[in-house]
Amino acid sequence: MIWTLFVPTAAVLGATAVVPLGAARLRPAVAAWALTAVLVGSVVALAAASLAVLLGSASHWPVVARGAGWCVSHLSHPGMPALVGPLVGAGVVAAVANVTLVARRQHHAAAPLGEDPVVVLPAPEAVAYALPGQPGQVVVSTGMLRALEPDERRVLFAHERAHLRLHHHRFLHLGELSVAALPLLRPVRCRLAHAVERWADEHAAHEVGDRQLVARTIAKAVLATGGRALPHRRALGAGGGQVSQRVAALLTDGATGGSRPAVAVAAAGGALAVVGATAQLHHLATYALGLC
* pLDDT tens digits for range 91-114: 888 989 999 998 888 777 666 677
CB 48 within 8 A of CB 280: yes
**Residue numbers of the domain that contains 186:** 118-251
How many degrees, rounded to 5, is the angle at CA 194 between CA 264 and CA 260? 15
Q: How far apart are CA 262 and CA 139, in angstroms?
A: 36
| 8 A C-beta contact, residue 36 and residue 26 | no
**98 neighbors 181 (Cβ within 8 angstroms):** yes
State the pTM of this model: 0.80
Judgement on whether residues 265 and 179 belong to the same structural domain of the protein: no
My answer on whether 272 and 172 are in the same domain is: no
- Residues 243 and 276 grouped into a single domain: no
Co-location of 103 and 186 in the same domain: no
* Residue 263 CB burial class (10 angstroms; 0-12, 13-18, ≥19): middle
Q: Which residues, in sequence order, are bridge partners of residue 131?
A: 137
3-state secondary structure of 13: helix
Mean pLDDT of the chain: 78
Q: Read off the pLDDT band of 64 (50, 70, 90).
A: low
Collect all residues with Cβ–Cβ distance below 8 Å to 88 and sequence separation of at least 6: 50, 53, 54, 57
Q: Are residues 145 and 211 in the same domain?
A: yes
Query: How many domains would you assign to the chain?
Result: 2
CB 191 within 8 A of CB 35: yes
Per-residue burial over 130-169, b = 16 or more CB atoms within 10 Å of its CB, e = otherwise: bbbbeebbbbbbebbbebbeeebbbbbbbbbbbbbebebb
Measure the CA–CA gap between 158 and 201, rounded to whole angstroms.
Answer: 9
CA dihedral 220→23→107→126, nearest 10 degrees, is 0
SS (H, E, C) 32-95: HHHHHHHHHHHHHHHHHHHHHHHHHHHCCCHHHHHHHCCCHHHHHCCCCCCCHHHHHHHHHHHH
Same domain, 104 and 228: no
Q: Are residues 64 and 93 in the same domain?
A: yes
pLDDT band for position 84 (50/70/90)?
Answer: low
133 has pLDDT over 70: yes
**pLDDT exceeds 90 at position 291:** no
pLDDT in tens, 198-245: 999 999 999 999 999 999 999 998 888 876 777 666 677 767 768 888
| Residues forming a β-bridge with 130 | 138, 236
Long-range contacts of the stretch 145-150 (C-beta < 8 A, 24+): 145/120, 147/220, 147/221, 147/224, 148/217, 148/220, 148/221, 148/224
- Number of separate helices (H) and strands (E) present in the chain: 11, 3
Strands 128-131 and 137-141: antiparallel
Mean pLDDT within 62-91: 61
237 and 125 housed in the same domain: yes
Axis crossing angle, helix 168-181 with helix 28-58, rounded to the nearest 10: 30
Q: pLDDT per residue over 5-52, tens digit each? A: 566 566 666 666 666 666 777 889 988 988 898 888 888 878 877 777
* Percent of the chain surpassing pLDDT 70: 63
What band does 185 get if pLDDT is binned at 50, 70 and 90?
A: confident
Rg of the chain in Å (alpha carbons): 23
pLDDT at 162 over 90: yes
Q: Answer with the residue of higher pLDDT: 85 or 186.
A: 186
239 shares its domain with 130? yes
pLDDT of residue 176: 92
Asked whether the predicted pLDDT for residue 61 surpasses 50, the reply is yes
Higher pLDDT, 262 or 227: 227
**pLDDT for the residue numbered 206:** 92
